[in-house]
Amino acid sequence: MQSTASMTEQSLALQRRLSTFTRVLSTKAPIARTPKELVWTLNKAKLYRYTPLMPAPQRHRIPLLLVFAIMNRPYILDLRPGHSFVEFMVSHGYDVYLLDWGCPGIEDKGTKLDDYAMEYLPRAIRKMKAVSGSDIFSMLGWCIGAILTTIYAALRPEEGLRNLLLLTAPLDFSNRNHVTFAKWTDEKYFDIEKILDAFGNMPAEMIDYGARVLKPVDNYITNYCKLWDNLENPRAVDAWHAMNTWVTDNIPMAGAAYRQLIVELYRKNALIQNQLHIKNQRVDLSKIQANLLTVIAEGDHITPPCQSEAILRQVSSIDKEVYRIPGGHIGIMAGSAAHRTTWPHIEHWLSSRSR
Amino acid sequence: MREITARRGPEGIFFALFRGNRMTEVKDENTRHSDPFEPFRGLRDSYLNAMSKTMVEAVNTETYAQATGAMLDYCLSASAPFRDVLEKSMAQALQQLSLPSRQEVATLAERFTNMEMRLDDLDAKLDRVLSVMAAPRDEGIKPKPRRARQGGKRG
């Protein structure tokens, strides 16, 4: 009888595990829950202001604008309650804004990096200044957001940018042996015009596939094994669920912007060589004067460290710092240890420069 | 320029999630046995680690890039005639039904975006005008000194 009871208990426990496993894989986690209000829209782009927790006299004077990549959802910065970079910064007295680029449609296939960096971003910044009442601001760019913020900082150095933070910034494509994407998108193998003729925009599924295939076993098998192993740990399951919700929520990339990314940056490496032209202006990185913090993920297989180092030699900023941290492209900001390492460092660096 | 290096173990996206949330070693006997893969976990992890390293090296080669590019090129070339036929037949059908094509809707959307940009610029100019108009009132306008009339008073 004891054996039967034990077997029954084990069956029920296994059933619970299977139920949790299925639920996590088939539903969306509650994410991006930090209170915010929409303050500006343009086409698909939206600028959100997060509700401050402190009264104005206690807040940092200089607002912070968060700019993420254009082919992923930006709520990775506000992943889940209790583990959100936005929540962390708001609780430390920052006036935080988030620029959501939105999901491009076929009508946006002609949108270039020029438009993102010099049409949408300046307008969003203009609105942020009006809402915050401050002409000085800080800006954090992550991944391709770092490319856009760098372009803006170089072309508009006199428009109030005090602090520039670049996270895992893919700016230098000279070391092709270390940049896997550079090999895959070489003009010998990758006909970008054929893809864009077929689809208009770069499909989200292809972008997702490309990111996952960098570590195929980890992304297609091991991650699910780790979930299975931790099914009885509710915190681990919630964390996995939230991350999986974001990872599977990809959006396409505007065709013209993708073409520029591959041809001008990956193939010609124009940005770091000061040969990139945006809106008929040459992007000269030496024009960047803002205080600069570059965060490099040492285990980043999407943007290897070598891609984020050269910028420090190019800018004219007097106050500049590089912060190297073990971790992956997303893990350094969304991983379980981010609130103990990356976030406090960013906050500490900004704190003295936001008065 | 300052350089700071944080020290902690390497982790990926999902591995980082579990780093601080490892399951405790002490488990209920029944709970442990609810996982039929428990006895094989060590072997599984060793195999996956080895395969992971092999595959990461494999996808980072020129051969893989060439193979992927060739496959993509083949798929696009093979599907191109079908896409052309579908596009043309769809355009004809929409025309027959007096409905706009996707390209026409996209063109209209582009024009809306341009109009939105102009409105946004107008909005910003209006904000600036309003703030300029408000500023002198806050400072207090001093009345202009009256000029003395020439030729005495009227009347």
What is the DSSP track for B9-50?
----HHHHHHHT-PPPS---HHHHHT-TTGGGHHHHHHHHHH
Residue B29 neighbours by CB distance under 10 Å: 10
pLDDT digits (tens, 9 = 90+) for A145-178: 999 999 999 999 999 999 999 999 999 999 988 8
pLDDT digits (tens, 9 = 90+) for B91-104: 999 999 999 999 89
pLDDT digits (tens, 9 = 90+) for A52-66: 999 999 999 999 999
Inspect the interface and report whether the beta carbons of B13 and A334 lie closer than 8 Å: yes
Question: What is the reported pLDDT for A1?
Answer: 53
Choose the closest CB to B124 out of A110, A126, A322: A126
Would you state the structure tokens that stand for residue A316, as one six-digit string? 């004219």
Inspect the interface and report whether the beta carbons of A130 and B124 lie closer than 8 Å: yes
Instruction: Kindly report the nearest CA distance between residue B13 and chain A, in angstroms.
Output: 5
What pTM did the predictor assign?
0.88
Residue A246 has pLDDT above 90, yes or no: yes
Percentage of residues in chain B having pLDDT higher than 70: 67
Would you state the structure tokens that stand for residue A182, as one six-digit string? 């550079």
- Among residues A94, A180, A93, the alpha carbon closest in space to that of A138 is found at A94
pLDDT digits (tens, 9 = 90+) for B7-25: 654 444 444 444 433 333 3
Report domain extents, chain B. Answer: 35-98, 100-138
CA-nearest residue to B6 within chain A is A325
Q: Is A225 designated active site?
A: no
pLDDT digits (tens, 9 = 90+) for B126-135: 988 998 898 8
What is d(CA B99, CA A151) in angstroms, rounded to the nearest whole number?
42
Burial of A178 (0-12, 13-18, 19+ CB in 10 A): middle
Instruction: Kindly report the nearest CA distance between residue A271 and chain B, in angstroms.
Output: 22
What is d(CA B110, CA A102) in angstroms, rounded to the nearest whole number?
15
How large is the ipTM?
0.84
Q: Is A300 designated active site?
A: yes
- Quick one: angle between helices A2-26 and A234-247, nearest 10? 30
Residue A7 has pLDDT above 90, yes or no: no
Inspect the interface and report whether the beta carbons of B11 and A214 lie closer than 8 Å: no
Chain A residues within an 8 Å CB radius of B64: 184
Q: What are phi and psi of B47, to 5 degrees?
A: -65, -45
pLDDT digits (tens, 9 = 90+) for A324-349: 999 999 999 999 899 999 999 999 99
> A60, A92, A143, A172: which one is catalytic?
A143
Q: Mean of the per-residue pLDDT values for chain A?
A: 95
Inspect the interface and report whether the beta carbons of B7 and A326 lie closer than 8 Å: yes
Inspect the interface and report whether the beta carbons of A326 and B33 lie closer than 8 Å: no
What is d(CA A235, CA B12) in angstroms, rounded to the nearest whole number?
18
- Among residues A200, A211, A209, A210, the alpha carbon closest in space to that of A254 is found at A200
Best residue in B1, B2, B4, B17 for a mutation probing chain A (most A CBs within 10 Å): B17
Q: Is A92 designated active site?
A: no
Q: How confident is the model at residue B152 (pLDDT cuts 50, 70, 90)?
A: very low
Choose the closest CB to A243 out of B14, B105, B117: B14
Q: Is A107 on the interface with B (CB under 8 A)?
A: yes
- Domains by residue range for chain A, with CATH: 24-351 (3.40.50.1820)
Residues of A (44-103) whose Cβ lies below 8 Å from B: none
Contact A37, A69 (CB under 8 A): no
Chain A residues within an 8 Å CB radius of B39: none
Residues of A (243-272) whose Cβ lies below 8 Å from B: 243, 247
